[in-house]
Amino acid sequence: HAAKYVYAPVPGLSHARNVGAASARSDLIAYLDDDAVADRRWIARLVAPFYDDRAMVVTGRIDPLDLPNAIGDRYLEIAFQRAFVGCVDRETLGWFWLANTGHIGVGGNMMLRREAFQHWPGFDTRLGRGALIAGSEEHCAFFQLIDRGYRCIHVPEAVVSHPGVRSAEQLQNFEQMIENALAYFTLLFAEYLAHRRELLRGIMRRF
């Protein structure tokens, strides 16, 4: 299939995504996890919304491949019971909170225009697996792109399936990633002064 493998010596998911994007030559760049299984119509359904010139990111749905026990049920509750919003831009009510809390989609099923990397510094290498804050890198990307005037679209028909959690240790690691959201909120509070009020309002509503 003319696949090309690119080695990224610096660890970290965000760094790897940036290296992959820099190596790509197509107009659109799709991301999924290495243990995910894509539906045969996955690519076509992610591509379709890019007829919208303002669409810079399109995300899809992630289904569990297996739910073997009560641990898997808990994983399903955490990972997949989330209300996604179909289209988010700066005119969307509450867009800042939606973008930064996973209501647009997740990094294991997303497609970006390669053009995005010309207007945006790329995935924040301080975030994501292998970084100090092990998560929220895709949410930060969605937020930064929307803040620049672009649009993110969620397409639930674009499906990839991902293995579920099989042990209590894996579930604990997954829940730890959710707790890392608090560290990410601290970063947002420190670096994005213009959005502090929206951030605090969202935290107060949630907690």
Rounded to whole angstroms, the maximal C-alpha distance in the chain is: 50
- Encode pLDDT of 141-198 as tens digits: 999 999 999 999 999 999 998 776 555 555 555 556 666 788 899 999 999 999 999 9
Task: Determine which of 18-27, 47-56, 169-178 has the lowest per-residue pLDDT on average.
Answer: 169-178
Two tokens at 92? Answer: 């969307």
Which pLDDT score is estimated for 163?
77
Q: Write down the H helix ranges in the chain.
A: 13-23, 42-47, 70-80, 95-100, 116-119, 137-147, 168-191, 196-206
Q: Report whether pLDDT(73) > 80.
A: no
- Give the predicted TM-score (pTM) of the model: 0.86
149-160: burial string, b at 16+ Cβ within 10 Å, e else: ebbbbbbeebbb
